[in-house]
Structures are given as structure tokens and as C-alpha cells.
Structure 1
Amino acid sequence: MRKLAVIVALTATVFLASSCRAETVCPAIAQASVVALTVAPEYVSSVKSIHLKACQDGRCMGADLDLVPGSTPIDQGCEPGSYGGDGVCSATSSPDGTLTGMLMLESLTASLIEVTVTGTGAAGQPLPVRALAFTPRVAYPYGEQCGSFITAGVVLDANGLRQAA
């Protein structure tokens, strides 16, 4: 009888310990399947238009990009919170001299992606064809239990294409 009481006590302890785990709450943030392109500041004056083609997992998508001025975030700090820690935080953006554009994809995976950039220069001449194959970046900003975020970005300058940092 004593052994049975010990087994019941251990089972109850395991059950209670496993049911008291803190639940993981993941943010409900959707991720866009895009390849982002940034034209470096020193190359902006050489570019009139850009066409981006991306191929991944046997599927290709291509489009002329709508290029818009790029910016960089500037942290404006946080106010102290009522109960310790940070309260309201804010940031602003400042132009950084780049141009940016995005190509929407049906899906984006962590497998190799091949990107080709063509376009027109400021004087109407064709830009050199630039190509790059790279593996998109995979990050777990909210922990592995919340899933991964996959990003694919490239930077175009006079020397060609490189993967964005």
C-alpha cells in the first residue's frame, strides 16, 4: 500500500508540474513573402528603373519595381514606465539616400534563391545584368516556439549585387 501511495504522489506531482508551465504567447504578425532590393546611395544617380527576377524552388517571379526613397530608423528613446521598466517608446525615420523596392513572391522558403537585376540607367542606357544566388536569412525573433521569419534582401551598387546584411 505504501508503494501505491508513493506512485500516486509522484504521478500527481508530474501531472501538476507539467500543467503549470507558462504558456508561450506568440505575436500575431504576418510575414510578407518578398525579395527586398536596396540601391546603394552612391549608385542611385545611375539608376532610372529596375526589373527584378527571383527564382526559388523551381518557381520564378519578376516585375519592374516601384522604387521609393529609403530611410533609416532613429531611436528616440523610452519614457520610464509606471511600474518600472520602459513605458512609451518612439522612433522616427530619416532619409538615407537609398532607393528601395520589393518583389512579392507566392512564398519564400529557406532554400537557395537566385536573383537577377536588369534595368535602365539615368541616361536611358541598359544597366549591366547582375545576378546573385544566396540563402535567405532565417531568424527566430520571438523564440523557436513562435516560428521563423525568413528574409531575402539584396543591395545593388556599381560593383553588382550582394546579400543585404
Structure 2
Amino acid sequence: MPPSPAERRLIIVEDDATFARTLRKSFERRGYAVEVAAGLEPMQALVDNHAPGFAVVDLKLAGGSGLECVKALHGHDAAMKIVVLTGFASIATAVEAIKLGACHYLAKPSNTDDIEAAFQRSDGDTSVPTTQTPTSIKNLEWERIHETLVETEFNISETARRLGMHRRTLARKLEKRRLK
């Protein structure tokens, strides 16, 4: 059941101004009162006055991790429905986002329909089939690279050192599979 008009307050935390503007317009057409913040500090300034019941947070922000925003939003209001969007989904960040208070985690490209559906699906789905298909070597490698990037706060040189590979090799792998 969709929220009543009085409850339809949304904050979008996204540093890509074009994508944020598109999301904003789409949610406003659906009756949401929308505020946009490009990072943690602007978000915190808006949250107190806007009192959102919903949030859409980009995982990778120019000024840091969207996980910090998830933590702050959940700390502000534990009932808030928070959906994390990312262009580089990984199991590690999905788990952390949920542990920090997100109700859902979506890989980009996701549209307003996907996000609004995610707001409604805050409970787990036991009917999701488990598969016997093992994860591919490429996906395992990417998971490890991404996990190490998060640990090093996206420092390419330090990530390469921790993974035992040359920095240029890591840079080539990242070029093939863009982070955003």
C-alpha cells in the first residue's frame, strides 16, 4: 500500500546532479516532496527540517561512502525506508548497507518503479530460489577487488598493494568494469 501524501517525504543523496534531477522529477510526479543532497553534510542539514520517511542513497559519493549516509539516516529515524543504489554492486556492500539500516539495495540502472517497489518490499522474500550455480572466477575476483577498494577508501595504489598486483594492472581491470 503506498504511503499517504503527508508521509511522502523523500531525500535523495546523489552526487550526480543529472541523475538526481531525473529521480527528483520522477518522484515529484508521483506525489513525493523531494529534497536532494550531494553528500553526508548537506544531507544532515536537510534531514532535520524535511523529516523524510524515505531515502535513496548512492553508494559511491564524491565526498565518501553512501554507507555513512545510511548509518546517519537510520540513526535519525530507524523507521525510514532507505534504498541504496550502486553502479558497482557487491555482496560485501549489500550486507553492510542492510546491517546499517537500508531496507533494500539495487544495482544501477534502476528506475523510479524499481525504487518504489523496493520501499514496499522491506521484508525478506523466502520464495527467492537458491541456486546451485557457483560464482564465476571473474565475479569472485571482482568481489575481492571491490571489497579491498572499500577497505582502502578507493585508494587505487593501496588496493593494488594489498591485492599483490601492479597498480596499472588494477587500473586496467577497473577500466574494463567501470565503478560508476
Do they superpose with TM above 0.5?
no
Scaled to the shorter chain, the TM-score interval is under 0.3
TM-score, structure 1 as length reference: 0.22
Higher helix residue share = 2
TM-score, structure 2 as length reference: 0.20
Give the number of the structure whose alpha-carbon radius of gyration is greater.
Answer: 1
Using CA pairs below 8 Å that are at least 6 residues apart, which structure has the higher relative contact order?
A: 1
